[in-house]
Amino acid sequence: MPFYELLCISSHFKDYKHIKDLVTVTAQHVMNHGGVVRKITSTGTKVLPQRMRSHQQWHTAGDYWSMHFDSSPKVMQALGERMRQDPRVIRVNTIKLGEKLEDIVKPREKTVLYDGSI
């Protein structure tokens, strides 16, 4: 299964219940279809770089969050379509990080121990 990162800008609400529900529904969609959610990160609320229009509304601030997950390409496409239809989402993008573990994990760097002599 490929490894993906979903980047999302969602509408800002005063209470975070709406964002929590959106993240929960997104993660459950991946897990219900045999995927694995590895990490969910919130970057917080930020002023958007420009006014953005989504679902017939203008937005000037948004909540930024991301999710790393493993799933099949069909599940990833269905998730993207579902997110684009959700009125709480301003922008969403999915990036494929790798196909195999070797693509994701970099080899350890070789270090030289310093023994104090020059």
Cβ-contact 40, 66 below 8 angstroms: yes
Write down the pLDDT at residue 16: 85
Write down the pLDDT at residue 112: 66
Cβ-contact 89, 63 below 8 angstroms: no
Provide block-wise average pLDDT over 10 residues at a time, the chain (118 residues): 93 91 96 95 95 94 96 94 95 91 71 69
Q: Under CATH, which number does the domain 3-104 receive?
A: 3.30.70.60
